[in-house]
Structure 1
Amino acid sequence: MRILVFANTPAHVHLYRHAVDRLESAGHDVLVLTREYACTTDLLDFFGMPYRVYGTHGTESYSKLRFARELGGQFVTIAREAVRFDPDVIFGRGPYAAYAGTLTRSPVVLVLDDEPGDFNHTVSRPFAETILSPAVTRRDLGENHYTFTGFKECAYLHPDVFSRDENVREFLGVGPDEPYVIARFNALDALHDADIEGFSPSQRRDLLERLSEHATVFVSDEGGRMELRDLPARPYDLHPALIHDAMAEASLLVADTGTMATEAALLGTPAFRYRGTDTHEYGEFQELERAGLAEQFDEYIDVRERSLEILADDDAPARWQRRRQEYIATLTNLAELLVAVAEARGSIDRLSPAIRQTVQPVQRETAWPEQ
């Protein structure tokens, strides 16, 4: 079989990397189409995934009009690469996968979460053979929408596929018992981030100064524009492929971005997210809050004070790990599910009975209304 995968962001690389590895090991031909964005191609190289680049995307602020113009040029390359590869099934999201599926007449599988991406969902849904999303997704995406127990991050953080690198503290230059915090600042440049603001420059400085009084602080700045020379913090400068190992050892992750907060929570690290001006209610975060693994804050002062409180709580690491172990054991190994769906050419009906039991059609009468 020939499987085409769209990986437009670093998170997408992680989502598909285990599935791609297993599909190739089973003798299938896999191609990843990607764009030059942040560390996306660095991750593809690190994990040895077969890819071709169809365009670029910067980390500066984008308007929806600029996104539309950008898509036009990228679609030309996508068309050429997709037709040349001639896939049996396509995985992705948004207009990229939908367009490639239309050109090649291939079934499209969309793996979605609860981001407020109305444009992405609207343009791609009519072309999907199957839509997969976490059971906590707050959307009804039609008759081909199926849910699984867990999160898209379970494709690489489920205990069946994730094991931390025990050398990560040495790589970071911190001692075996030295507490450290990862502060993640979002570039807010994606389509669904338009007009959203996270930590302000002054809030970032204040947060780093206060956190540094209790722990070593590493900054992961997606936009790459923050100057740290006069601040008591270090840049997170390990290879981006090691970020989950670093998060798993951290005492706290505090962020104004969603994906890394979800990842930290699933690793059993206290994950505090500052919402800023983002008013969207994410089903994933509500579930993680219910499990006691993540917390969200509307006000900057609240996330700062809660962060300082948790760093002073010596029992917090063990408490979070107990919660994580109890919770994550109930979740689906998404990598295994993606492989099975690929080999079934995107058809849920072709799955084996054992795998079929891990997905459920959306109950239309009780599903969240489309937003």
Structure 2
Amino acid sequence: MDYLFFTNTPAHVHLYRNAIEELRERGHGALVLARDYGCTLDLLDYYDLPHVVYGELATSKCSLARQLPSHYRTILRKTREYDPDKIFGVGAYAAHAGTVTDAPVFLITDSENTHLDHAISRPFADAYLTPHTFDKDLGEDHHVFRGFKECAYLHPEEWEPQTDVRDELGVGPDEEFAIVRLNAFGSHHDVGHDGFTPEKRGTLVERLAEDVTVFVSDEGDAMDFSSVPARPFDLHPALLHDALAEASLLVADTQTMVTEAALLGTPAIRSNSFVGDGDMGNFAELEREGLIYNLRAFDAVLDRATDLLSRAGVADEWARKREEFLEDKVNLTDLVVRVATDRTMLRSLPTKRTYNLMPTETPI
């Protein structure tokens, strides 16, 4: 069989890369339709995944509107040419690609607040797969798995370090370091939202640098490193998870890396305008489990960061909490492969409407 996957962002590459590799090892065909956004293409090249670029996107909020017509022209043409048996993606691009082929479309999403994308994707999707914490009903074809989309690559059965990242970073074996992740807020779901201001970014780095070495991963490339006591994270982006696993702390105004830190056992602080009433279910659960902190006030971010870096035994505490949290979480790569290769698989997967009636002892 031939499978088509959409990777619109770097996170989507990680979501599907192991499933693509497994399907290809089984003799199936797989093609990625990719958007040139951030380090998406760098990751596809690193993992040697067959791909075609359907367009590019800058980190400005108006870039998508300008590029959308050409994106769709290329997507529909390439989908028709490839003629896949099944399509996997995250949102509208994958859903609408299904209109030019008989292939069923499966979407994995974890963002409840992307209302427009859900509205224009749902009529064309054969099934949605979402985490058990997803606090929204997308209809009768909305299926639930116990875990997060990051379990496709950071589940214990999938994750292993790729390098001795401390040598790559130039830090000693016992040298503590923190990672600051800064969002460009250029995606369509970021419209109307914000994170750390330039002034707060500088203050944050200076406070952290009093205790540890600081690396900054800046999606918008706006940080002036000549004026702050920090180093850019300039390793290949595929090594970011290796660094995150070794870090003493992550502070971020973005989303995905916070969940990744939790699944790797690294304390994380998340602060942006999404935090508060109506926040996404995965972040609420991770905070309940004591793996992350969702903080709106900047002073609270500084105080919590200082506390975590000064407190003894934090690394062992988070390692224990991570292990306990992942005990009943699904290997999402395995689930994607089963959905791809077994047409009856979805029948055994609970829907959003039946999930709460099922026992939680068995991971689904």
Q: TM-score range by the shorter chain?
A: over 0.9
Q: By how many angstroms is 1:366 displaced?
A: 6.8
> How many angstroms apart in 2 are the aligned matches of 1:175 and 1:149?
38
Q: By how many angstroms is 1:203 displaced?
A: 0.2
Normalising by structure 2, we get a TM-score of: 0.95
CA RMSD in angstroms comes to: 1.6
Q: By how many angstroms is 1:275 displaced?
A: 2.2
User: Which of residues 312, 318, 321 is equivalent to 2:319?
Assistant: 321
2:38 matches 1:6:
no
* Alpha carbons 1:114, 1:138 under 8 Å: kept: no
2:53 matches 1:56:
no
> How many angstroms apart in 1 are the aligned matches of 2:301 and 2:290?
16
Q: Which residue does 2:75 correspond to in 1?
A: 78
Q: Which amino acid aligns with 2:55?
A: G
Q: Which residue does 1:29 correspond to in 2?
A: 29
* Alpha carbons 1:46, 1:241 under 8 Å: kept: yes
> How many angstroms apart in 2 are the aligned matches of 1:136 and 1:298?
21
Displacement over 6 Å in runs of 4+: 364-367
2:340 matches 1:336:
no
Q: By how many angstroms is 1:316 displaced?
A: 0.7
Instruction: Spell out the pairing of 1:218-367 with structure 2 (5 A cutoff).
Output: 218-276=215-273, 279=276, 280-344=278-342, 348-349=346-347, 356=348, 359-363=349-353
Q: Which amino acid aligns with 1:39?
A: C
User: Which of residues 213, 217, 220 is equivalent to 2:214?
Assistant: 217
3-state secondary structure, aligned to 1:52: strand
> How many angstroms apart in 2 are the aligned matches of 1:229 and 1:68?
34
> How many angstroms apart in 1 are the aligned matches of 2:222 and 2:281?
31
Q: Percent identity?
A: 49
Q: Which amino acid aligns with 2:5?
A: V
Q: By how many angstroms is 1:129 displaced?
A: 1.3
Unaligned runs of 5+ in 2: 358-364
- How many residue pairs get aligned? The number is 356
> How many angstroms apart in 1 are the aligned matches of 2:345 and 2:104?
8
Q: Which residue does 1:42 correspond to in 2?
A: 42
Moved more, 321-330 or 207-216: 321-330
3-state secondary structure, aligned to 1:116: coil
Moved more, 107-116 or 1-10: 107-116
> How many angstroms apart in 1 are the aligned matches of 2:222 and 2:352?
42
2:187 matches 1:187:
no
Q: By how many angstroms is 1:291 displaced?
A: 1.1
> How many angstroms apart in 2 are the aligned matches of 1:360 and 1:47?
32
Normalising by structure 1, we get a TM-score of: 0.93
